[in-house]
Amino acid sequence: MAEPLTRTPKGWDRLSPPSKVAITLHVNDVPRTLTIASWTTLLDALRNDLGLTGTKKGCDHGQCGACTVLVDGRRVNSCLVLAIMMNDARVTTVEGLAKDGALHPVQQAFIDHDAFQCGYCTPGQIMSAVALISEGRARNADEIRELMSGNICRCGAYPRIVAAIQQAMAAMESKP
């Protein structure tokens, strides 16, 4: 038998994945209790454990923004946070934006302006835009572009995304 190429110490028969911890996430206003391994990201918890696949994985390294969700109202890359750190947090995903069947103004504006093509970055763009508007920092197109630059759209819908955000911003200001 050939010498193994392994690096693990002799005598380790089994390697166990990290033990699981029970946490509660308030996802889209619904408390969800999960028993989850400590290495599971919030993104994977949403997609794999809760079946909320609206939140997308595009790089898993915080480089593309497709996984953007709101945690306690702030936008975060859910691939960069561990789910166990989010115990008791309020998490809003794209599935939680529409109320009683009516689209959120940002969602409607994205359709009106054709602010996407393949749709894969879209939930992240929309969540980022919702937070951007509530942050109140973007007052013009240049500031929107800058503050939306954490969300890559490879289809290149950027000018449409800016126009959609401007429409939604106006709509939300007139109806607070």
Partner 1 sequence: MTYIGTATSRVDGHAKVTGTATYAAEAKTTGLVHGSVVTSSIAKGRIVRIDVSDALRVDRVIDVLTHANRPPMADADSGYKDEVAPDGSPFRPLYDDRILFSGQPIALVVAEDPETAQFAASLVRVEYAEEPHVTEMYRRWDDAPALKAVAKPGENPFSPPKPRGNAKAALAAAAVRHQGDYYVPVEYHNPMELYGSTVTYESDGTLTVFDKTQGVQNVQCYLCGVFALAPERVQVLSPFTGGAFGSGLRPQYQVVLAALAALALKRSVRVVLTRQQMYGLGYRPAMIQRIELGAKGDGTLEAMTHDAITMTSQYEHFYRQETGWSGLLYQCPNATYAHRVAPLDLPTPCDMRAPSAATGVYALECAMDELAVALGLDPLELRQRCYSDRDQNTNRPYSSKNLHECYRQGAEAFGWEKRSPEPRSMRDGSELVGWGMATGVWEALQVPIAVRIALTANGHAEVSCATSDIGTGTYTIMAQVAADMLGVPLDQVTIRLGDSTLPQSPVEGGSWIAASVANGIATTSDAIRDELLGLAKQMPNSPLSDIAPGEVVLVDGKLMSARDPARAVSIADTMRHGGIDRIELEKTTRFPKDETHSHNTHSAIFAEVKVDEELGVIRVTRVVSTVAAGRILNTKTASSQILGGVVWGIGMALHEETLLDHTFGRVMNANIAEYHVPVNADIHDIDVIFVDEPDDSINRLGIKGLGEIGIVGVAAAVANAVYHATGKRVRDLPITLDKLLA
Phi and psi at 25, nearest 5°, equal -115, 135
Binder among 13, 29, 100, 173 for partner 1 (CB under 8 A): 13
Q: Which of 117, 128, 130 is nearest to 65 (CA)?
A: 128
17/176 with CB nearer partner 1: 17
What the block records as the tokens of 69 is 């969700």
Size of the site for partner 1 (CB under 8 A): 71
- State in angstroms the smallest separation of the CB of 114 from partner 1: 5
Q: What is the footprint of partner 1 within residues 113-132 (CB under 8 A)?
A: 114, 116-123, 126
Residue 20: in which H helix or E strand, if any?
Answer: strand 20-27
Question: 102: Cβ–Cβ under 8 A, 6 or more apart, which residues?
Answer: none
- The answer to whether the beta carbons of residues 37 and 19 sit under 8 Å apart is yes
In angstroms, what is the minimal distance from the CB of 42 to partner 1? 13
Cα end-to-end span (Å), the chain: 73
Query: How far is Cα 30 from Cα 13, in angstroms, rounded to an integer?
Result: 41
Q: Is residue 111 a contact residue for partner 1 (CB under 8 A)?
A: yes
Site for partner 1 in 45-84 (CB under 8 A): 47-48, 51-61, 63-64, 66
Q: Which is closer to partner 1, CB of 70 or CB of 97?
A: 97
- Pick 56 or 75: Cβ nearer partner 1: 56
Reading the block at residue 57, the tokens are 């994985």
For residue 136, the minimal CB distance to partner 1 (Å) is 18
Interface stretch with partner 1, choices 70-78, 84-92, 100-108, 168-176 (CB under 8 A): 100-108
